[in-house]
Chain A
Amino acid sequence: MIRCENIFKSFDETEVLKDISIVFESGKNNLIIGKSGAGKTVLLKILVGLLNPTSGKIWYDGHDFTSLNHKELQKLRNEVGMLFQGSALFDSMTVEENIRFPMDMFTKKTKKEKKNRVNYCLERVNLEGINDQFPSEISGGMQKRVGIARSIVMEPNYLFCDEPNSGLDPKTSIVIDELISNITYDDNITTIINTHDMNSVLEIGDNINLLHNGKLAWQGTKSEVLKSQSEELVDFIFASPFLKKLRGQAIDEL
């Protein structure tokens, strides 16, 4: 479980996050949603420690993330996996080397153990046999899946996904959502997904947190989305007239 309390973040005079307090539960897909510029990526970067909050606290299962020393932070970092928006695979390394990288850096496993773990992770994302290919030789969807494989190779307790569906076709997006969801439930990890993909919200959103102008505007589950009267949520999820009409029909059916 990750808990953030009263997070504020400013860049010079611009206040990007205003008093954000959220509990991200373990074994669930915790979504951060919102329009572009709402502060989702900044919040995610603060949660993983890539940015420091102006004020506020972050707790990883009872450990105050903002006041850990170097050694404790290092230990905690090995329990964190992250899938980046652009996959962030290292171009000069093969798929296997990319996935193996955290193990090479931080573990003393044998070559065989590493190979087995890489193959297991590739199997979990349905990409067996592409070990020797370079990121430039595989599709965007495959790169995302390799990114997921790399993020789970160290058996993390916390998984962060920054817009995992961006740039993907709807079908591939569903595959990526399913993969992340399965990993979350099977491994009982705390997953935080930053997205503005409406399908993800309605399919895998166990806990949904809507950011609007840097503030937490709405919280709920996927089943509560349709019924919610929150102006910000309706405005975000059902932005187009067509979707608004569909929402009306769905509510009528309910």
Chain B
Amino acid sequence: MIKPLLFHTGRYFVMLGSTLRKPSNFRMYWKETVRQMYDIGVGSVTIVVLISVFIGAVSAVQFSYQIGGTFIPKYYIGYIVRDMTIIELAPTFTGLVLAGKVGSNMASEIGGMRQKEHIDAMEVMGVNTASYLILPKIIAAVVIIPILVSIGAFVSIIGGYIASVPFGDLTNLDYIKGLRSFFVPFNVVMMLIKALVFAFILTSVSCYQGYYVEGGSIELGKASTNAVVISDVMILLADYIIVLMLTT
């Protein structure tokens, strides 16, 4: 148990060391980064919006149910939806969902290249494959995922509005009052920090799983599954550590 853990951790950092070397041709890296940005951004915005609407809606309905019959003012629904979304739900849910969608895709893509000797072919040419294949993905993810998370947070708040105001739980003014109450700008910073860290984790862990895949299609499937499972666990662990560091 300990030995494989140390082995994979060591190899992960060795891979990161190669990944973060100076690119041999910036133009080629830029082209690849833009392609990845498009894939991650455009390819994931629909699922992020869809999930975010429901997260906001469920949060509003749930909180409305919990404060029913208490003296807590109704406008707190807007306040709670806003803060829950920004601090926790938007970055974490988006991270977990993207680990499944983007992470597994990256592991399969790089793993397939390993199996079809594409990576060997590049190595023989002299390409730093860890850098060329992984760095553009990491850069694209750390740029695009915080944007997706911000979109997700905004849409969640709208989702909370849709689920509560038209159904008479509270008035339009109350919801807006809630949204404008007790606002701490640092929470937005915390959301963006989480998004950055989660983006780095899900891309680097997934690329690691694909980069070192051995064997055939069964191993590739396992690598893809491991990419999602390990990324999810690491994201939740990182979430806890970030919260501890930034709030206590």
Contacts and interface: CB of A to CB of B under 8 A. Distances in A.
Do A and B come together as binding partners?
Answer: yes
B243 interface: no
A106 B117 contact: no
A193 to B, nearest CB: 15
B126 A50 contact: no
B121 A84 contact: yes
Contacts of B120: 45, 50, 84, 88
A45 B121 CA distance: 11
B145 to A, nearest CB: 23
Interface stretch (A75-83, A168-176, A201-209): A75-83
B116 interface: yes
Interface stretch (A13-21, A97-105, A113-121, A235-243): A97-105
A105 B120 CA distance: 16
A85 interface: yes
6 nearest interchain CB pairs? Answer: A77-B126, A88-B121, A88-B117, A82-B124, A84-B117, A102-B125
Contact of B125 (A77, A86, A91): A77
Interface string B96-121: 00000000000000000000111011
B25 interface: yes
Contacts of B127: 105
Given A77-B124, A86-B116, 14 more contacts: A45-B120, A49-B123, A49-B124, A50-B124, A77-B125, A80-B124, A82-B124, A84-B120, A88-B117, A88-B118, A88-B121, A91-B116, A102-B126, A105-B125
Contacts of A104: 25, 27-28
Interface residues of B, number: 14
A185 interface: no
A106 B25 CA distance: 7
A45 B127 CA distance: 16
Interface of A: 45, 48-50, 73-74, 77-78, 80-82, 84-86, 88, 90-91, 101-102, 104-106, 154, 160
A73 B120 CA distance: 15
Contacts, number: 52
Interface in B27-44: 27-28
Contacts of A85: 117
Nearest to B132: A105
B116 A105 contact: no
Query: Which of A82, A91, A102, A105 has the most B CB atoms < 10 Å from its CB?
Result: A105
22 contacts: A49-B123, A50-B124, A73-B126, A74-B24, A74-B126, A77-B125, A77-B126, A80-B125, A80-B126, A84-B117, A86-B116, A88-B120, A88-B121, A90-B118, A101-B125, A102-B125, A104-B28, A105-B125, A105-B126, A106-B25, A106-B126, A154-B125
Nearest to A101: B125
Contacts of A86: 116-117
Contacts of B124: 48-50, 77, 80-82, 160
A194 B117 CA distance: 16
Q: Secondary structure at chain B's binding surface: helix, strand, loop or mixed? A: helix
A91 B113 CA distance: 9
Interface in B205-233: none
A81 B125 CA distance: 7
A102 B28 CA distance: 11
A74 B120 CA distance: 15
Nearest to B119: A88
B117 A105 contact: no
Contacts of B116: 86, 88, 91
A154 B127 CA distance: 14
Contacts of A102: 125-126
Contacts of A48: 124
Contacts of A160: 124
Nearest to A75: B126
Interface string B42-81: 0000000000000000000000000000000000000000
A154 B25 CA distance: 16
Nearest to B115: A86
Interface string B1-38: 00000000000000000000000110110000000000
